[in-house]
Structure 1
Amino acid sequence: MSAPVDIREVGPRDGLQIEAPITTEAKIELIDALVATGVGRIEVTSFVSPRAVPALADAEAVAAQLGRWPGVTFSALVAGMGGVRRALAAGLTRIEYVVSASDGHSMANVGRSSEDSVTLIAPIVELVHGAGAELEVIVAIAFDCPFDGPTPPQRVAEIAARAVAAGADSISVADTVGTATPRRTGDVVDLVSAAAPGFDVGLHLHNTRGQGLANAWAGYEHGVRRFDSAAGGFGGCPFAPGASGNISTEELVYMFEDSGIATGIDLAATLEAARVASRLLGKPADSNLLRAGGPLVPGRLG
């Protein structure tokens, strides 16, 4: 058996943020279905402007319900100090701060330059650690920007190094618009790993151009063991034109488990969670495995 992977389910945040808002009760139903898969980490919401991302305007209401699942580690994404304060006040102890590697996306996403966002890492680390919580820095637009074009890989590595120096607890890189290919994924992972020695670099991948699973495999071959995915393959960035769905959790689990790489996630339950997400959103899931009805042999991996 090869080294296992740690998959974070991001459906309740990234999977919902570009969709028409659904009720808090519906989100709790989705989280309940995701918890049933055995996943150990769930990105549950984002503490950002309700005007900018109305689908996640109920972040505090969702966070108030998380105590019903004591065995799961929940995290939330923030874009600045205000979001950090809201997340900590709501009881989150795992905070993700997103930093765009390009100015064009950073201005569209948070209204400040990439450099200004990097400068904020240190005070955010201080605030988060002061509350006894942990901070993950996610470098967005790590491959290409819809406004500025290709992202220099060295810029991604530089941000990672500065995040480590500022005291971040973990580092991930994100293919926000789904343009990466396996070769580029491996190249960026290698650079970031060198810039963040001793850190298990995470990957947040989108399947916009059909490369998501291939990129995940390339990441694994280059040492990545932490991956983000969303049941049903829903998701996308509202501030990056052309960005669409995450890699689907069920396809990622299927690929790894059938390759002898343990995920700790039940495939049959994940397929059911994808069906729940599809029903709640009122649209088909972008998942080949779900359309196919699961594995060829029923129950083989479920």
Structure 2
Amino acid sequence: MSPKLPAKARIREVGPRDGFQNEPEIISTADKIALINQLARTGLDRIEIASFVRADIIPQLADAVEVLNGVDIPEHIALTVLVPNNRGLDNALKVRERFHEVAMFVSASETHNKRNVNRAIDESMADNEIVAKRIDSEGLRPTAVIATAFGCPFEGKVPMARTLEIAEQFAAVGCAEIGFGDTTGMAHPAYVFDIFSAAIDRLPGVEIAAHFHNTRGQGLANAYAALQAGCTSFESSFGELGGCPVPAGSTGNIATEDLINMFHEMGVATGVNLPAVIDAARAAQSVLGRKLTSHCIVAGPVDWHPDGTATGCH
């Protein structure tokens, strides 16, 4: 007997932020704008578009203001920017009219948080509390992501109790959405089901989101487990772009086109035009000058015919 799944799922495309920031070469502002504009016409209604971090740390996103001012986005699409601290929010608010949501972040692992932002978790959360209140006072939607929520390459397995405690702290300061990030691809489906079941139960009224990386090839299986647990909000990156700069070797996010393909095959609606997302991923492939390896770029989606047969490759 098939499990009962949600009828719909929400997807935030994070490639323009999480994907572009990990590219070894700087993508031109014009190319970023063109790719984002293409994504904005696929049916996606949420895009994480930029990050306001120090340019010497993430030079690939140093043109955040230019990108935000240059894109042509339909009004119904919610744009998200990520900020690391109060100073990042100050910079973002200079173009406050160009986005709708602000994402904060912290690692569930002390070691990863220190290597990522040079702060202890408590220090980061104290700053995030101030930032969350400022975001809300600006009429913007405060969101948060907990990195290394399923495991840390430096510390090993992160206790679920610690991850959920951080989530409750974010909820207490008004975060409308809290994402659980598998930053270096250490999650497995059984644990994913348990942690999302617990988070949904303990945080009523908060949108719980899933952010998986495909470092060890379990990204889609983990998304399915989260869906089974009742999660209906997901983050993914077209072309499977992305990764994590700490540590080196962490590969990309699950591909938006692969996630949508799986959901649609199971009867879970996303409102997104899958061929259009594949076209955007192939456009990114051309911009980057290298092959991207998401399954739907390589094989295309399954095309079902009236006689029950399928075409699997394009």
- TM-score of the superposition, structure 1-length normalised? 0.95
Q: How does 1:88-103 map to 2 (within 5 A)?
A: 88-91=93-96, 92-103=99-110
Indicate if the aligned counterparts of 1:205 and 1:228 stay in contact, CA closer than 8 A: yes
Q: How does 1:37-56 map to 2 (within 5 A)?
A: 37-56=42-61
RMSD: 1.8
- Equivalenced residues, count: 301
Shift of 1:113: 0.8
Q: Which of 27, 30, 33 is 1:25 aligned to?
A: 30
Shift of 1:86: 1.4
Which residue identity does 2:65 align to in structure 1?
Answer: E
Q: Which of 4, 8, 11 is 1:7 aligned to?
A: 11
Deviates more, 1:183-192 or 1:264-273: 183-192
Indicate if the aligned counterparts of 2:51 and 2:64 stay in contact, CA closer than 8 A: yes
The answer to whether structure 1 residue 210 and structure 2 residue 217 are counterparts is yes
Identity %: 39
Distance in 1 (CA, whole Å) between partners of 2:269 and 2:133 is: 35
Distance in 2 (CA, whole Å) between partners of 1:217 and 1:64 is: 36
Distance in 1 (CA, whole Å) between partners of 2:239 and 2:230 is: 26
Indicate if the aligned counterparts of 1:9 and 1:249 stay in contact, CA closer than 8 A: yes
Shift of 1:71: 2.7
Change (3 A) 1:67 1:267: closer
Q: How does 1:77-92 map to 2 (within 5 A)?
A: 77-91=82-96, 92=99
Indicate if the aligned counterparts of 2:13 and 2:44 stay in contact, CA closer than 8 A: yes
Distance in 1 (CA, whole Å) between partners of 2:257 and 2:192 is: 21
Indicate if the aligned counterparts of 2:17 and 2:50 stay in contact, CA closer than 8 A: yes
Which residue identity does 1:292 align to in structure 2?
Answer: A
Indicate if the aligned counterparts of 2:164 and 2:199 stay in contact, CA closer than 8 A: yes
Shift of 1:293: 3.2
Shift of 1:191: 2.5
Distance in 2 (CA, whole Å) between partners of 1:39 and 1:281 is: 22
Structure 2 match to 1:35: 40
Distance in 2 (CA, whole Å) between partners of 1:157 and 1:179 is: 17
Distance in 2 (CA, whole Å) between partners of 1:223 and 1:300 is: 31
Structure 2 match to 1:237: 244
The answer to whether structure 1 residue 249 and structure 2 residue 256 are counterparts is yes
Distance in 1 (CA, whole Å) between partners of 2:311 and 2:143 is: 35
Larger Cα Rg: Structure 1 or Structure 2?
2
- TM-score of the superposition, structure 2-length normalised? 0.91
Q: Please give the per-residue CA displacement for 1:43-90, whole angstroms capped at 9, x wherever unaligned.
A: 001111111111111011111124543231110111111111212222
Which residue identity does 2:246 align to in structure 1?
Answer: F
Distance in 1 (CA, whole Å) between partners of 2:295 and 2:201 is: 35
Gaps of 5+ in 2: none
Q: Please give the per-residue CA displacement for 1:183-217, whole angstroms capped at 9, x wherever unaligned.
A: 11111112322331222210011011010101001
Which residue identity does 1:131 align to in structure 2?
Answer: E
Structure 2 match to 1:16: 20
Regions of 4+ moved over 4 Å: 296-301
Deviates more, 1:149-158 or 1:284-293: 284-293
Deviates more, 1:41-50 or 1:287-296: 287-296
Distance in 2 (CA, whole Å) between partners of 1:187 and 1:84 is: 34
Shift of 1:122: 1.6
Q: Please give the per-residue CA displacement for 1:108-136, whole angstroms capped at 9, x wherever unaligned.
A: 11110112111222211111111111110
Question: Helix, strand or coil: the match of 1:14?
Answer: helix
Structure 2 match to 1:182: 189
Structure 1 match to 2:152: 145
Shift of 1:297: 4.9
Indicate if the aligned counterparts of 1:245 and 1:286 stay in contact, CA closer than 8 A: no
Shift of 1:2: 4.4
Distance in 1 (CA, whole Å) between partners of 2:17 and 2:35 is: 11
Shift of 1:97: 0.2
Structure 2 match to 1:70: 75
Distance in 2 (CA, whole Å) between partners of 1:297 and 1:195 is: 40
Q: How does 1:108-187 map to 2 (within 5 A)?
A: 108-187=115-194
Distance in 2 (CA, whole Å) between partners of 1:223 and 1:86 is: 36
